Amino acid sequence: MRTRSQDAGAPLPPAGDILALIATGFWRWDNATGLVTLDAEAARLLGLPAEPVTLSEAGVRSRFHPVDWNEIDGVVNLAVAEGTLAEARLRIMDEQNKVIRTVRSRSKPVIHGAEYELIGTLQEVNEPQPGSAARTPITGDWRRSREAFLLDAGRALAEARSTAEVLRVAAGLSMPGFEPDGLAVFGVAGDRLTIIGHHGQQAGDESPFTDMGLTTDYPAADVVRNGRAVYLSSPAEYRSRYPVTWPLAARFGRESWAFLPLTVAGRTIGAWMAAFRYPVQFTPDERSVLTTVARMLAQALSRAGIAESERELTDGLQRSMLPTLGPAIPGMSLAARYVPTGGGLQVGGDWYDMIPLPDGDRIALVIGDVQGHDVRAAGLMGQLRIALRAYAAEGHRPDAVLSRASRFLTGITDSPADRPGGGPGTLATGITDPRFATCLYVEVDPATGVLEIARAGHPDPAVRLDDGTVVMRATAGGLPLGLDPDSDYPTTRVVLEPGETMMLCTDGLIETGGHDLETGWARLRTVLERYQGDGLEQLADELVQAVHGPGSHYSTGPLADRREDDIAVVLLCRTPRVPGGVDGTGLAPPVRRTMLTVRQAEPERIADARQQLRELLHDWSEQEQVDSAVLMVSEMMTNVLVHTDGDALLLVEARGEAGERRLRVEVADASDELPHRRHPGELASSGRGLVLMEILADAWGVAPRGEGKSIWFELHESPAP
């Protein structure tokens, strides 16, 4: 009889015999050759004769359920990446594609340079009971819930635009079958580990981890150093592997931890911690989910970081290119806004400027828009703005300033270096990139309110009168800057009366939201007319809000194209007069005025005169009187252009309270020849102007002037019915 002490000293049986005794097979998979070696028990479990055999990868694959084979491929790749065990349940199929058994596979990857081999075991297991295998790889419910979760998480992280949004999404992730109690994202700054954000901890709990060296014995630092995930299934495992920093984690009362690298383009940019208040074994499926989330989180953080850097750069560029509106102007107030396009680069070609002129009494207001809203547009805008300031500082008149600016822009956008083969500045594609710019230049005399306006393809200014009426100030103009270096820019003189506000804007304020020029102006006119606030700053905010606020999404324009554009807007208001007792009440009666010059070479601008008159009389009580006034103005101005050699100057004034107003219209010219009544025949095409005035006007007449004459008429508003 052998004693117990003799048995204790006997050698152990071979490992293969022990595995066979417990019905466990042994196998080896060489990734380099694609061959799988099975011992006798492993072959039996796969439904083959119980003898050692070496098979190809395809031969082994045919014995497994195809769904499970696809599952184990991801498990193996994860184990190779992390250097951990690969564990999975697999269904074995016979020649008739029937499941004959379920086996449990556990293997360890052994890395050989770029290749690896798996060494592991196979053991038969019982089929799981219904409801008990919710997290096994062979359960369809688990796969479906995992895939749905990853799709939702990927979409949410892809839509996050800032680091704060990414962290909010990460904190709200509800993982299938297991849910972390605490999350933390660590970043790398030089050789230090920092906390980017956390969830599930109290404010201030992150203090010990905020500035930690990468050489620290802490799991997150270990992950960043080695680029491999760390899974700690119990406090005992945490304490044994990281005894130095265990006291920092012990106070949170967690039971399991997962630390995963955040890797982008092969570079580890940080680590992600998921902590649990209950024990987690971190099965291959759970590790796969955590690893996938970590990869998506790393990509989202990288995108957010790049976007934030770009925003910081473009914000700085914008601040450097858009000046403040300088010192206060006596007798006037100013407000301005710049809103970059809704998406993409946050700086473009729109700009505004305020330029003190050499005489010290006047200023120039400039607003413009370089074609496009990209980096080139921003660069050209900066150059053009500097050129305009330089030309204005030299004392040139508005027309000369724009003429010189057009030549300057033509020179820098169509230079020989920009032409194919033209020099080192040639574009990489060999295609020139000419650009043009629209611009409105206004020379302001604060003492008199006189505005000298030169326009280069830019929208006309709008004026809000003292009583809230809004009219478009039609101005003469030339081509956009940069199209023709020899283009002329005629000047238009406008008087800004006390209490009136002039709005200058780029087309982005008009057309944003799918509007065209007509519907866009109608939208802005409504805002200007209804404004009852105090101060230009509030009015500027309301104009931008009307375009970019929530309400703008429900009032889109007629155009299908809704591409957004940059917005620049400048408001100039002349201080109202102090009320005086001119009518016995202590208040001056309301007055509306407008003025327009139509040159001999611009007969088409008579249409602008008719439009201005209609805008001025928008609330006149009787529409027939408005139509009569428009007809008479058209006749008077046409007569000047046809029968004289000079220009026609239109002066309109509406004075008084609503329902009792008096309209006076004058058309002046430089000819001394007085009009005379004619008796046109039925087929005559002219000679009816004075006849119409006599029929339609309440009063009319001709007044000689120092040089030339003026023809005038008056209409008295009929009380509203």
What pTM was computed for the model?
0.57
- The amino acid sitting at 436 is F
Residue 430 has pLDDT above 70, yes or no: no
Write down the pLDDT at residue 317.
Answer: 67
pLDDT class of 6 with cuts at 50, 70, 90: low
pLDDT class of 153 with cuts at 50, 70, 90: confident
pLDDT class of 466 with cuts at 50, 70, 90: confident
Report residue 360 CA to chain centroid gap.
40
Q: What are the tens digits of pLDDT across the range 27-66?
A: 898 888 889 998 888 888 888 888 899 988 888 888 888 7
Residue 423 has pLDDT above 60, yes or no: no
Write down the pLDDT at residue 133.
Answer: 37
Greatest Cα pair distance, the chain, in angstroms, is 153
Task: Mark out the alpha helices in 210-362 (DSSP H runs).
Answer: 219-226, 235-241, 246-250, 284-321
475 phi and psi angles, rounded to 5 deg: -125, 150
Residue 681 has pLDDT above 70, yes or no: no
Average model confidence (pLDDT) across the chain: 81
Write down the pLDDT at residue 458.
Answer: 95
SS3 sequence of 398-433: HHHHHHHHHHHHHHHHCCHHHCCCCCCCCCCCCCCC
Tokens 């219209």 appear where? 665
> Cα dist. 437→155, 294, 366, 428, 518 in Å?
40, 47, 12, 24, 21
Write down the pLDDT at residue 397.
Answer: 93
Integer Cα distance of 216 and 194 in angstroms: 12
267 phi and psi angles, rounded to 5 deg: -115, 130
